[in-house]
Amino acid sequence: MANGRLMEAVETLKIQGVRMTPQRHAILNYLLSSIQHPTADEIYKSLSDNFPNMSVATVYNNLRLFREAGLIRELTYGDASSRFDANMNDHYHVICHHCGHITDFDYPVLSQVEKSASEMTGYQVNTHRLEIYGTCPMCQKELHQQKKEHLS
Q: Is 139 in the site for Zn ion (CB under 5 A)?
A: yes
Of 41, 104, 119, 131, which lies in the binding site for Zn ion, with binding defined by CB under 5 A? 104
In DSSP notation, 92-117 reads: EEEEETTT--EEEE-----HHHHHHH
The piece of 43-51, 54-62, 97-105, 122-130 that touches Zn ion (CB under 5 A) is 97-105
Residue nearer to Zn ion on the CB measure, 10 or 139: 139
Residue nearer to Zn ion on the CB measure, 5 or 101: 101
**CA 93 remoteness from chain centre:** 10
Q: Which of 67, 83, 73 is nearest to 18 (CA)?
A: 67
Q: Is 90 in the site for Zn ion (CB under 5 A)?
A: no
Q: Is 31 in the site for Zn ion (CB under 5 A)?
A: no
Of 56, 88, 99, 109, which lies in the binding site for Zn ion, with binding defined by CB under 5 A? 99
Residue nearer to Zn ion on the CB measure, 99 or 130: 99
Residues whose CB falls within 8 Å of the CB of residue 70, separated by 6 or more in sequence, listed in order? 12, 88
Min CB(27)–Zn ion separation in Å:
18
According to DSSP, residue 70 is labeled T
Min CB(121)–Zn ion separation in Å:
27
Residue 93 near residue 132, CB atoms below 8 Å: yes
Q: Is 143 in the site for Zn ion (CB under 5 A)?
A: no
Strands 92-96 and 102-105 turn out to be antiparallel
Q: Is 82 in the site for Zn ion (CB under 5 A)?
A: no
E strand map for the chain: 73-77, 80-85, 92-96, 102-105, 131-134
Residues that bind Zn ion (CB under 5 A): 85, 87, 96, 98-99, 101, 104, 136, 139
